[in-house]
Every structure is written in structure tokens, then in C-alpha cells.
Amino acid sequence: MTSDAAPPDPPTAPRRRHTREIHGVATEDPWFWLRDREDPDTIAYLEAENAYADAMFEPLGELSERLFEEIKGRVKETDMSVPVRKGSWWYVGRTEEGKQYAIHTRRADVDGAPSDEELVLLDENELAGDSDYLGVGDLLVSPDHRLLAYTCDFDGDEKYQLRIIDLSTGEMLDDRVEDLTYGLAWSADSSTIFYTLADDMQRSDRVVRHNLGSPVSDDVVVFHETDDRFWVGLGATRSERFIIMSSESRTTSEVRVVDATDPTSAAKIIEPRSQGHEYRVEHHAERFLILSNLDAPDFRLFETPVDDPAMANWTELIAHEPGVRLDDVDAFADHLVVTRRRNNVPQISVWHLGDGSVTDLEFPEPIFETGGSANVEWHTPKYRFGYASMVTPSSIYEHDVVTGERTLLKQQEVVGGYDSDRYVTERLMAEAADGTRVPLSVLRHKDTPTDGTAPCVLYGYGSYEVIMPASFSSNRLSLIDRGVVFAMSHVRGGGEMGRAWYDNGRLGNKINSFTDLLSAADRLVEAGWADPDRIVIRGGSAGGLLVGGVLNMAPEKVAGVVAEVPFVDNVNTMLDPSLPLTIGEYEEWGNPEEAEAFEWLMQYSPYENVEAVDYPPIYATAGLNDPRVSYWEPAKWIAKLRDTAVGRRRFLLKTEMGAGHGGPSGRYDAWRDEARIQAFILEVFDLADGSSEPSRVDREGSPTERPR
């Protein structure tokens, strides 16, 4: 980093002999020992890396603080969500200036509006106390509105504790369960709660029933998933008539339902699992709605009787449309809401059950994101949805399905003022080597030139069929207002362009994700949006694998890398079935015990393919308690880069010693982390000294000039 003083020497992780041979290939893994967090040398090394990163960032301290104040200054720190009505109550979440976490409240309904008297259900700031970390997993009020069940995690390992509050007295019930995963569901009479537990590999594998007031030792396992490829999910239908228990692998699913009015009744299976068949279930009246990929890679919709839901009774309601992903169907008493994705553009349609007509909602911008918001009531003529684009702040609308009237309930306030006309967003298409057209969502300040001189941050993910939304982030404005272009590449392996897009970016086709990102970088240069010598690539988790793989393939095309909790030691992780997620992800990455899959993984593994070349600056992060990407993956990667690379060798690692996959849990801490990342990026672009103020245009009138 930039400094007049000589930089400190980077820490060195000693090599310890550890060899492995598989499929006739012998490899060395001299930093294998970092997996042992009980080894004092492991913690000492991570702390040394943290100290080194702090020292290297010291010259950027003033810039980091300025960026933090800018990021914080755009946020309305004391704010509240749009009230959500459920029965005779309105539920509201809010934040207060200076506090890290949300406060959950409710107000009584008075003539269709919230009353003035607020009841605090849960103040996460009080819950966190002196803890450096707090994660609230689930938060669920009972059907009679008398009880609040929530789960909490105080170290980021995603092992939650269940707590239940009697809202009429404010007292905590004695019913407390440890080591939960995600998902809660109440019985209709609020006497019973269902939760999920995990096995030793932290795979959610059991649904458990607990009767309030009874000992936890009496809890009943309702369903146990014994296939290590599958994990269980839990929820309830909007109608509150059924509790849904899903069992899913990456390619196959199976659903069971329990009558919520009879919580001790046996779970009814909808359709037994069949390899490759995925389906989801919603309830409406005396039928289940089944979203299924049966002979339909991009899914179609069926209905089936509640009393006999087997596939033999399925009747098609919406046919398959190749390349157009049928994402979801939401059921309400008098209408259905169908969401699709066509050419990476989301669509919402309202199906009026009274007359069978369908209304397609229209949106003003060609590039945007939308989807259902808090729609908890069963009997309602209103549908809430979120809307945003890369230039339009996040908004909540309410659509009246009877009159067609649309009402803006709330739009994210960018404190200090925000003028979307100062920014330009476009959809570019990059052509991959095989001719595939890869979409990019691109954002710049209107005065940023498109003559190939602008620095650019290129973001990517491309795994698990996850869609990267082209939505708004006020955090980006600090870079955009300094003339940096932001580009999001929707590479294969994601879910933006239908099931084939995902399939062409996983298993043996995973290499396409990496070459797509390189094609995206080339397209940005070709279009004049990016300086070829100033492109920083950024990704997290599986996106960290993406940028790490690209770094090895073409280090000369990259000016810098931000890799957040990156999955960079993928071969060794996938060879260890005792680790969380490994077995369940064979269908995503492949099982390296099989020679063909081992060859795929070795082809792009960031850790395995480090070479003696001049790599650009890298900033990597890790979480000591991360159950998804173990801390040792980025730690081993940085250690090997330091040992092997030549040239600049500017590699930084920051490990959160009390957090997990998501980094710091408090919002101020998260903003400071983002400010540090942006300072790193600006330093890579040579914009840290003398150019750390927003552009001239913004100083004359944009929000970055005004007090916050």
C-alpha cells in the first residue's frame, strides 16, 4: 500500500510436509496444518496476518474513514420498515442511529391503520449485549399473536438457540433448544412448534416437534433425512393450514406435509423422490399447487387434490416454456401470483381466480429487479412487491389486484439527496468462446468517459443457480462518484437465464463460469467502459472461487482482486466428506474421488494452480467460525501465494476471529469493512492519493458533497 515508510515484512506460514496421491496424481499441501484451529501456530498465524493487514492499511486510514462516513452518511440511520398487517396487528422493524441491530415491534390495528402505541417484541441490540456478534436466524410470531419464537447465534457458526417470549407478559418461556438450523413453524393452535436440527456435518437433517411446556427430551423427531446428499427445510403455507417439510439435494426434492390443525398427525408425502425431479408445494383451498421440473427443465405448474396428492393426480395449469424460468407461485384466497424470469428480466403476473384473467405487471425500466415483499395475509386484495434497478433505490409497492392501482409505500432514502439522472446503467452482452452471449449489468456516473480510460470493478458469482440481482446499492456510490465503473457479470452457473444456464456452469461445465468472466472483462474493454489495465475483480464465497480461478488463468488481465470468504481450496474440501456441505455439493462440483470429477476440479482450483508469476494485489477475508467456507481456505491460499508468487506479492488476509460466513454482524462494522475494501480498490486504481474526493460534478451538487 502507499506509504513513505518501509512496509512491514509479511508473515510467513511455515511449510510442513503433507503429501497426497489420488488417481495417480501426487501433490504437496504444506499448509494443511492450518486446518487445526487448536494448534497455537494457527491462531498466531491468523493474528499475524490481521496485524500485517492493519499495518498495510494504515496509510489508507484517512481514506477508509472518509469512505465509511460517506457510506454511513447515505443511510437513514433511524428508520422503519413498511408496516405489515397480520390479523389485528401491524408488525414493523426499525433501526436507531448509533445502534448496530434492528428492533422488532408491533402496533394494534385501529380502523385499518397502526395505533400510536408501540410494543417492542425484540430489541436485537439488547439481545446482543456485550457480544461482538449476533445473528438472528428465524423470527416467528405464533398464529394467536401471543408468542414470539426466535433463534439466535452469538459466534457466527450458524448453530442457533431457540427462545420463546410470551408477548403478553414479556417473560421468556423455559422452552429453549440448542443447536438449531434454519426453519420454524407453528401449529394452528400455537401450542406446538416445529424446528430443525443438524447432524455432525452441520447438515440440516431432522424436523422436530416440541409441545410448549414439555421437556425438550420429550421432543419428537417427525422426519429424519438419512441420505447425506439431502438437507431438510421447514415452513408453513400462507393459508396456515399445512406445515411443509422439504428434503432437497442439488437436483432432487421430496415434500411432506403435516396438517397444522393436527400437529401430531403423520406427515403425508406428496410424491416420493425420483433422481433429478425437483418440486415445490403451495396450498390453495382443496388443492396443492406443484411447481415441478417434470419433463420441464424450466418448470411448469400443476394442481393436485389435497386428499390424494400423488403424481397420478397432477393436472397441468401452466405449461413449460423453454428458457423462461418459472420461479415461483404465491397463493392467496382469490388470486395467484406467478413470477418468471425471461432473458434475465423478472416478470410478475397476477392470476385472478374469479374470472381466470391474468394481469402482467409493467415496469418502467428495461433493467431492474422485482419480487414479492411481505405478503403474509391469506385473505387480501393487495400484493406487495419490491422494485429496484442499479439507479433506482429499493422500493416497496402495493398492487390492488381488483382495481389495478399501484401505490408506492416506501422508497429507500439516500440521505443528502440522490439524483438518478446522474447515473447510467446498461445491459451489455459478452460473447464467450463457444458463442454463448453472457449478460452484464453495468453502472457508471454519466460523466465517466466510455473511451477506455475508466477503472472498473467487475463482480461475479455464478454458482448454485443463484441470481445476481441488478439492484441498487448506495454503498457503490462512493466508487461510482469517483469515476469507477461497476459491472456485474451474470456468468453461467447462476440462474439468470434458465436451468440450462445453471447446468452449463456446474460439474464438468464449471470452466465456463471462469471463461465467461474473462469474456465479460474483454467486452467491457471493447465497449470502452473499462481501462484494460484497471479492472479489479470481486467475488465472495463461490464467487471467491470464480475470481481466484480467473486470477490463475489470466493474471495479466486483472489489476486487483477482492475475494471475500473465498472457496479457493475446493479440491481438498471436496475430498473431505466430514466437512459441512461437502457430500451435499457433489452434485454442484463433483466428487473428486471419481477420476473425471477430480480432473474438473484440479483444472480450475485456485489453491492448486498457484504459480510463480506476478499476481496483482489481493485482499482476502475469512471468518474463523465460518461453517460454509472454512477459514483455512483463504489462509492456505494466501500462504501459498506468498511462498510461490514473484513480483509485487501484495497479498492481504483479514480473518474475523469471532464471526462466520457473513462477516461482522453489526451494520456499522459491516460499513467499515466495505469502506476498507473500497479503499483497497481505490489504491489499486491509483486513486487513493489526491483523487480520493468525488468528481468535480459531484462536488458541485451531488449527495457526496452534502452533510450526512
Catalytic residue list: 541, 626, 661
For residue 264, give the nearest of 228, 198, 214, 305 by alpha carbon: 214
Residue 595 C-alpha cell reads as 477420476
Phi, psi of 458 (to 5 degrees): -110, 115
| DSSP class of 496 | T
Cβ neighbors of 186 (< 8 A, separation 6 or more) are: 140, 142, 143, 149, 192, 193, 194, 236, 260
Residue 673 C-alpha cell reads as 469493512
Q: Are strands 560-564 and 535-540 parallel, antiparallel or unpaired?
A: parallel
Q: How far is CA 288 from CA 7, 301, 307, 310, 602, in A?
A: 65, 10, 9, 10, 44
Q: How far is CA 329 from CA 178, 237, 249, 287, 368, in A?
A: 34, 12, 21, 14, 20
For residue 292, give the nearest of 304, 305, 284 by alpha carbon: 304
Per the DSSP assignment, residues forming a β-bridge with 210 are: 193
Q: In what order do the strands lie in the sheet with 315-318?
A: 279-284, 287-292, 300-305, 315-318
For residue 599, give the nearest of 516, 512, 508, 514 by alpha carbon: 508
Residue 285 C-alpha cell reads as 383451498
Contact between 47 and 6 (Cβ < 8 Å): no
Q: How far is CA 406 from CA 76, 111, 349, 366, 703, in A?
A: 25, 22, 14, 19, 29
| DSSP class of 555 | G
Q: Are strands 253-259 and 268-269 parallel, antiparallel or unpaired?
A: antiparallel
Contact between 231 and 204 (Cβ < 8 Å): yes
| DSSP class of 465 | T
For residue 264, give the 3-state DSSP assignment.
Answer: coil
Q: Which residues of 247-274 are buried (b: 16+ CB within 10 A; e: fewer)?
A: bbbbebbbbbbbbbeebeeeeebbbebe
Contact between 445 and 505 (Cβ < 8 Å): no
**Rounded to an integer, what distance in angstroms lies between the CA atom of residue 295 and that of residue 277?**
9
Residue 349 C-alpha cell reads as 403476473
Q: Are strands 485-489 and 456-460 parallel, antiparallel or unpaired?
A: parallel
